[in-house]
């Protein structure tokens, strides 16, 4: 362990001192990871706030905070950018936006007066609140705001430690008040997990200010790994065509075996392999045919984090085609694979976790493997939105070959995925990047992405595509049935009393995505016999039988039932195009195996629709 110490600072905050303080705060949060997971009950009790904050701050430790810098402003800029790239979960995204706001307010100043830092922290608090479509008091937002207000109340600061400690005390009081602001916290008898994580960050900084000492693992040559990987990316179009996935991960542990890892990766037949880092943290880069095989091999040597996999075939198609509008969606959309390739639809994977292991949906973890784990793992899966960095990397690449892009995203009301895309758009090329909320998921989201991609291939502008998507959004409808709501109950999406009631009555619940994009109860069937035919009848009676429709039927590890449902729908409605797909974790994690999903969209043009 390396031990760093220095004298108490005078009332002027410089880069080196600020860097060490932030390192201490980040390590405090990471140490409290499991405790934060245990008190995570809002907005749903999915127990991942600690993990998400740890992943977010881990990105800072291996990025901006691993390199010395003289100026405080430059350090904060790098910290903010790294936080955006590594953010996980709602709390991680909020913290990243707060740090970006602070950095933007400080600018390029080399040293900061307390008054300036207080103003910047207030700006960061406002920025974090503005990043959410529905900000709630009683969360990390309230704690950040209380801390900022306390610092701004004191103008003449002669003792940094006392000034900061008063702000910490105010943040603790705000944290203690969160159960009074959110009934879910009061009922569970806990404070907000995100707010607690922010207080942990402040406590780590306060402890450092008290004795000037921190203990950290050496962060050696991760930067060299990034450089080598960047150089290899120059060989994009000369790489082995069998290795379509440009994959990376961070490997953490003690006494990591770099040579052994190289051998294991070579055994996979990977190309363009880079293994760089120290005995405690390694960055792995490789071009592979199967990212999951790479990440599984790495997991034999340590804990795998920060996985990413870019589809170089899709990138090559975009680079070759050029021009036109690029269409992007996320893996919550249940797209038929062959059609997605044909239409050149780019996909950002959401994150799926089982225990401490995170996966890239449909890339690092196939849908079939997800359901195998869902049936056998004790731990419930958790899903989280991609960090803004995933979007920013994809957006930057596409905009280097296309004049504009449209992201066709998962409903804002059920996930922070859309907000991540918006953050990336604002930090990149906002005038050329268009983020569209489908107010849908699964097949409904996929149908909108398919229509957008066809319009893009026909040469339509981004504005025309967005106008058509706005027209089709309320007409694209999705229903689902769940054979067993146990997964939704365990995940906190459905109250516990519902399961015994439904089981006693022998009911199969029906859900529908509302116009606002939420999944709500719409009805139920008695019993489960002839479920495909009855579900088809239910949907057919709720849409216009005179219309022609496009259709996606999704199944959660129930292919035979899905095929029967598709055939039943085709027998009852005029289906122009119909696809059967395996529904991914966005729905499957909550609906469980055996669930079925139906999404329909009118196939008529706007002129025909107006005429009707």
Which CATH number fits the domain that encloses residue 188? 1.25.40.340
Does 34 lie in the same domain as 125?
A: yes
Is residue 134 included in any domain, yes or no?
A: yes
Instruction: Flag the least confident range among 24-38, 47-61, 296-310.
Output: 47-61
Confidence of residue 132 (pLDDT cuts 50, 70, 90): low
What's residue 355's pLDDT? 73
Closest-CA residue to 327 (of 344, 315, 305): 344
What's residue 500's pLDDT? 59
What's residue 14's pLDDT? 86
CA 196 to centroid of chain Cα atoms:
21
Question: What distance in Å separates the CA atoms of residue 128 and residue 141, rounded to the nearest whole number?
Answer: 7
DSSP state of 546: T
pLDDT at 428 over 60: yes
Confidence of residue 129 (pLDDT cuts 50, 70, 90): confident
Question: What distance in Å separates the CA atoms of residue 289 and residue 291, rounded to the nearest whole number?
Answer: 7
What's residue 2's pLDDT? 42
Is residue 262 included in any domain, yes or no?
A: yes
Our count of domains for the chain comes to: 3
What's residue 68's pLDDT? 79
User: Are 125 and 174 in contact, with CB atoms under 8 Å apart?
Assistant: no
Question: What distance in Å separates the CA atoms of residue 12 and residue 345, rounded to the nearest whole number?
Answer: 51
Does 202 lie in the same domain as 271?
A: no
Percentage of the residues of the chain whose pLDDT score is greater than 90: 38
Closest-CA residue to 290 (of 244, 332, 348, 249): 244
Does 480 lie in the same domain as 586?
A: yes
Higher per-residue confidence, 211 vs 75: 75
Question: What distance in Å separates the CA atoms of residue 492 and residue 444, rounded to the nearest whole number?
Answer: 24
Pick the most confident of 37-41, 55-59, 274-278, 413-417.
413-417
Is residue 383 included in any domain, yes or no?
A: no
What's the rounded mean pLDDT across residues 480-499?
61
Does 578 lie in the same domain as 602?
A: yes
Q: What are phi and psi for residue 184, nearest 5 degrees?
A: -60, -35
Percentage of the residues of the chain whose pLDDT score is greater than 70: 83
Is residue 525 included in any domain, yes or no?
A: yes
What's the rounded mean pLDDT across residues 510-520?
87
Confidence of residue 59 (pLDDT cuts 50, 70, 90): confident
User: Residue 519 is part of a domain; what is its CATH number?
Assistant: 3.30.1180.10
Beta strands 477-481 and 507-513 are antiparallel
What's residue 16's pLDDT? 87
Does 131 lie in the same domain as 117?
A: yes
> 450 — alpha (psi -120 to 50), left (phi > 0) or beta?
alpha
Q: What is the mean pLDDT of the chain?
A: 82
Does 204 lie in the same domain as 232?
A: no
What's the rounded mean pLDDT across residues 331-344?
92
Direct distance between the N- and C-terminal alpha carbons of the chain, in angstroms, rounded to an integer: 73
- Domain end, chosen from 290, 320, 350, is at 320
Does 138 lie in the same domain as 279?
A: no
Residues 198-251 have pLDDT tens digits of: 999 999 999 998 876 554 433 333 333 333 333 333 333 344 567 788 787 878
Instruction: Flag the least confident range among 11-20, 49-58, 489-498.
Output: 489-498
pTM of the model: 0.65
pLDDT at 415 over 90: no
Does 246 lie in the same domain as 204?
A: no
Is residue 455 included in any domain, yes or no?
A: no
Residues 342-388 have pLDDT tens digits of: 999 999 998 887 776 778 888 877 888 888 887 777 667 777 888 88
Question: What distance in Å separates the CA atoms of residue 364 and residue 362, rounded to the nearest whole number?
Answer: 6
Residues 543-599 have pLDDT tens digits of: 999 999 999 999 988 999 999 999 999 999 999 999 999 988 877 777 778 889 999
- Domain end, chosen from 216, 243, 259, is at 216
Is residue 64 included in any domain, yes or no?
A: yes
Does 101 lie in the same domain as 23?
A: yes
User: Residue 293 is part of a domain; what is its CATH number?
Assistant: 3.30.70.120
Is residue 325 included in any domain, yes or no?
A: no
- Domain end, chosen from 320, 346, 365, is at 320
Question: What distance in Å separates the CA atoms of residue 225 and residue 222, rounded to the nearest whole number?
Answer: 5
Is residue 198 included in any domain, yes or no?
A: yes
What's residue 47's pLDDT? 52
What's residue 405's pLDDT? 96
What's residue 467's pLDDT? 97
Question: What distance in Å separates the CA atoms of residue 243 and residue 70, rounded to the nearest whole number?
Answer: 42
What's residue 154's pLDDT? 78
What's residue 158's pLDDT? 76
pLDDT at 608 over 50: no
Does 540 lie in the same domain as 489?
A: yes
Confidence of residue 392 (pLDDT cuts 50, 70, 90): confident
Three-class SS of residue 454?
A: helix
Does 234 lie in the same domain as 191?
A: no
What's the rounded mean pLDDT across residues 272-294?
77
Confidence of residue 417 (pLDDT cuts 50, 70, 90): very high
Residues 106-124 have pLDDT tens digits of: 998 888 888 899 999 999 9
Cβ-Cβ contacts under 8 Å for 59 (sequence gap 6 or more)? 82, 83, 85, 86, 87, 306
Question: What distance in Å separates the CA atoms of residue 494 and residue 521, rounded to the nearest whole number?
Answer: 10
User: Are 170 and 146 in contact, with CB atoms under 8 Å apart?
Assistant: yes
Instruction: Flag the least confident range among 121-135, 160-174, 338-352.
Output: 121-135
User: Are 249 and 295 in contact, with CB atoms under 8 Å apart?
Assistant: yes
What's residue 118's pLDDT? 92
Provide the domain limits for residue 153. 2-216
Structure tokens at 173: 């009081």
Higher per-residue confidence, 192 vs 43: 192
Question: What distance in Å separates the CA atoms of residue 40 and residue 43, rounded to the nearest whole number?
Answer: 8
What's residue 491's pLDDT? 53
Question: What distance in Å separates the CA atoms of residue 349 and residue 385, rounded to the nearest whole number?
Answer: 8
Higher per-residue confidence, 452 vs 265: 452
What's residue 3's pLDDT? 40
Does 243 lie in the same domain as 275?
A: yes
What's the rounded mean pLDDT across residues 192-197?
92
């Amino acid at each position: 362990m390396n031990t760093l110490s220095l004298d108490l600072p005078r009332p002027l905050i410089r880069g080196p001192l600020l860097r060490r303080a932030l390192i201490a705060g980040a390590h405090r949060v990471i140490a409290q990871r499991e405790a934060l997971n245990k008190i995570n009950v809002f907005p749903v009790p999915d127990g991942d706030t600690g993990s998400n904050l740890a992943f977010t701050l881990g990105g800072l430790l291996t990025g901006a905070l691993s390199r010395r810098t003289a100026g405080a402003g430059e350090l904060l800029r790098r910290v903010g950018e790294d936080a955006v790239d590594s953010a996980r979960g709602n709390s991680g995204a909020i913290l990243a936006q707060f740090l970006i706001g602070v950095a933007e307010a400080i600018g390029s100043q080399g040293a900061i007066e307390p008054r300036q830092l207080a103003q910047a922290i207030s700006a960061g608090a406002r920025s974090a609140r503005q990043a959410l479509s529905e900000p709630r008091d009683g969360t990390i937002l309230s704690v950040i705001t209380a801390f900022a207000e306390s610092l701004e109340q004191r103008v003449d600061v002669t003792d940094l430690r006392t000034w900061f400690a008063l702000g910490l005390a105010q943040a603790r009081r705000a944290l203690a008040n969160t159960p009074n602001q959110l009934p879910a916290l009061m009922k569970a008898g806990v404070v907000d997990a995100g707010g607690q994580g922010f207080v942990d960050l402040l406590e780590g900084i306060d402890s450092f200010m008290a004795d000037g000492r921190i203990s950290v693992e050496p962060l050696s040559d991760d930067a060299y790994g990034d450089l080598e990987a960047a150089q290899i990316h120059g060989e994009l179009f000369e790489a082995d065509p069998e290795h379509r996935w440009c994959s990376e991960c961070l490997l953490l542990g003690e006494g990591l075996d770099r040579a052994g890892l190289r051998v294991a990766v070579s055994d996979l037949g990977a190309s363009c392999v880079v293994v760089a880092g120290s005995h405690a943290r390694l960055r792995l880069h490789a071009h592979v045919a199967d990212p999951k095989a790479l990440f599984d091999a790495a997991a034999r040597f340590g804990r795998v984090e920060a996985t990413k996999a870019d589809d170089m075939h899709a990138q090559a198609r975009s680079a070759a085609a050029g021009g036109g509008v690029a269409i992007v969606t996320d893996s919550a959309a249940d797209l038929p694979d062959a059609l997605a390739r044909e239409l050149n639809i780019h996909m950002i994977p959401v994150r799926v976790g089982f225990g401490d292991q995170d996966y890239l949906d449909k890339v690092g973890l196939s849908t079939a493997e997800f359901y195998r784990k869902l049936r056998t793992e004790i731990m419930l899966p958790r899903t989280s939105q991609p960090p803004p960095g995933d979007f920013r990397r994809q957006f930057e690449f596409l905009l280097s070959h296309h004049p504009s892009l449209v992201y066709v995203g998962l409903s804002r009301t059920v996930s922070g995925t859309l907000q991540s895309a918006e953050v990336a758009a604002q930090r990149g090329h906002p005038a050329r990047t268009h983020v569209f909320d489908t107010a849908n998921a699964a097949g409904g989201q996929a149908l909108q992405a398919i229509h957008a991609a066809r319009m893009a291939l026909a040469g339509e502008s981004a504005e025309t595509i967005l106008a058509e998507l706005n027209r089709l959004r309320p007409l694209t409808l999705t229903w689902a049935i769940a054979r067993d709501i146990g997964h939704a109950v365990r995940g906190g999406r459905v109250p516990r009393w519902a399961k015994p009631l439904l089981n006693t009555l022998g009911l199969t619940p029906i859900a529908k995505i509302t116009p606002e994009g939420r999944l709500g109860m719409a009805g139920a069937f008695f019993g489960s016999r002839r479920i495909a035919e009855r579900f088809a009848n239910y949907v057919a009676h709720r849409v216009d039988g005179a219309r022609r429709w496009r259709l996606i039927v999704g199944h959660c590890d129930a292919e035979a039932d899905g095929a029967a449902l598709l055939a039943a729908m085709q027998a009852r409605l005029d289906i122009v195009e119909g696809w059967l797909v395996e529904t991914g974790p966005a729905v499957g994690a909550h609906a469980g195996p055996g669930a079925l999903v139906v999404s329909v969209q009118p196939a008529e043009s706007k002129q025909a629709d107006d005429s009707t």
